Amino acid sequence: MIKAVVAGLDRVPALALEEVGKRLDVKIKAVNVYVPPNYFVQATDFGSAYICARLNTHAAMKEASHGNFFVGLQSMLRRRNGGWEHLIGIMIVSRHKALLCGTWTEPVGVPLVLVDELRSRGLTTNDLERVLADKYSQDAVDPYCRLSGGKSRQKMIVEALLRISDRRWLASR
């Protein structure tokens, strides 16, 4: 069994990892650990998103060094073709701090009204997921589905992980 440690208390990425394991016939047990927020809660470029995802993996290592690999995610909002898109960066690092792989979810269009709301709240203290949850109800199972045409965040993360061609990150270390 491979033990994955996921930065943050959001269970969606952990459930996505376990689903990927089932699909690939690899037993993955994913646990979440609290990590203090880094500087960019909502990144707006690939560089800061990459750095924050990596910082999240290292923070997870400090909290639970017993994993086989560590996963950090970072939400990114970017301007593209006159509109806005949202992606989630996923970084997987070994217990020896070596980068095993990184990937991104498919981009999802974001209405300008949501971007304006996020900006008014501040990019260092809020992210798109929080704005969506507040706008469409905290009780919504996955308010992100509203942007992606019904595709859940979990499904988008699973698809991103399955697109990784090099599967050595799934080998028990």
pLDDT by residue, tens only, the chain of 173 residues: 999 999 998 899 999 999 999 999 999 999 999 988 766 678 888 998 999 899 999 999 999 988 999 999 998 999 999 999 999 999 999 888 888 899 999 999 999 999 999 889 987 788 887 888 888 775 555 767 888 888 888 999 999 999 998 888 887 55
The answer to the question of residue 92 being in a domain is yes
Entry pTM: 0.89
20-51 CB burial, b ≥16 within 10 A, e <16: bbeeeeeebebebbebeebebbbbeeeebbbb
Please report, for the domain that includes residue 135, its CATH number. 3.90.950.10
The answer to the question of residue 148 being in a domain is yes
Q: How far apart are the first and last CA of the chain?
A: 10
The answer to the question of residue 173 being in a domain is no
Which domain range does residue 46 map to? Answer: 2-167
Number of domains within the chain = 1
